[in-house]
Chain A
Amino acid sequence: QVQLVESGGGVVQPGRSLRLSCAVSGFTFDNYGMDWVRQAPGKGLEWVAVISYDGSNKYYADSVKGRFTISRDNSKNTLYLQMNSLRVEDTAVYYCARDRYNYGQFDYWGQGTLVTVSS
């Protein structure tokens, strides 16, 4: 069965960095684009970034552009989100999601990993 498991969340000070990982199984990873979507505590969903199946195309929300980098290692079936210059407003649960459309249909999601940015 399809599984997506995020890891790497935690508490970090403003201005510091963190890298999230999303390990997938149960499907052919390099056939699909992948996204990161976040949800601040008690708030709605915010799309963060998408990467194409082969890593050649990447798109970002304005709120993270220049600070976050999405990447993937198809040999390890793993998606990443490198988050630099973190801000308090980046505090959220971060979900990885499989994108079965180019782009924008999130048909499988991970359970999420909480990132807390606080001094």
Chain B
Amino acid sequence: DIQMTQSPSSLSASVGDRVTITCQASQAISNYLNWYQQKPGQAPNLLIYGASNLETGVPSRFSGSGSGTDFTFTINSLQPEDIATYYCQQYANLPPLTFGGGTKVEIK
């Protein structure tokens, strides 16, 4: 199984800050990596697919990069509505499809 290690598990930042989350795969997954946002009480929402492709309708302050085993998710200029937990997920190999442990983003 491919393990996805996400860090940090939580962070606190100010409105307008740049926020960076990392995700490391236990083996190379090329660019088969998605990022999801989950707000409290809601289902997850796909933000980034293929490591760096922005899903339609997602604000451009969200971005993703990386390939192989190391990936980065960035929020440029954090907004109050970005308060959520963010998950990476690999789809290079199944079963299983695997998620990272999540990063909870809060406003300082």
A associates with B = yes
Partner-B contacts on A (CB < 8 A): 35, 37, 44-47, 50, 59-62, 95, 101, 103-107, 109-112
With A106-B44, A109-B43 as contacts: A47 and B96 at CB distance below 8 Å: yes
Which residue of the partner chain A has the closest CB to B85?
Answer: A44
Majority secondary structure of chain B interface residues (helix, strand, loop or mixed): loop
Whether B49 and A105, one on each chain, are in contact in the complex, defined by CB atoms closer than 8 angstroms, is yes
- Jot down 18 A-B pairs with beta carbons below 8 A, ordered by A: A44-B87, A44-B100, A44-B102, A45-B38, A45-B44, A45-B99, A50-B95, A60-B95, A95-B43, A95-B44, A103-B97, A104-B32, A104-B90, A105-B34, A105-B91, A106-B44, A110-B43, A111-B43
Which residue of the partner chain B has the closest CB to A96?
Answer: B43
Which size bracket describes the interface of B in this complex?
20 to 34
Which residue of the partner chain A has the closest CB to B50?
Answer: A105
What mask results when residues 10 to 46 of chain B are scored 1 for a CB within 8 Å of chain A, else 0? Answer: 0000000000000000000000101010100011111
Min CB–CB distance A39 → chain B (angstroms) = 8
Whether A109 and B89, one on each chain, are in contact in the complex, defined by CB atoms closer than 8 angstroms, is no
Residues in chain A near residue B91, CB distance under 8 A: 101, 103-105
Which residue of the partner chain A has the closest CB to B87?
Answer: A45
A107 to B98, CA, bound (A): 16
Interface flag for B55 (CB, 8 Å)? yes
Interface flag for B101 (CB, 8 Å)? yes
Residues in chain A near residue B45, CB distance under 8 A: 109
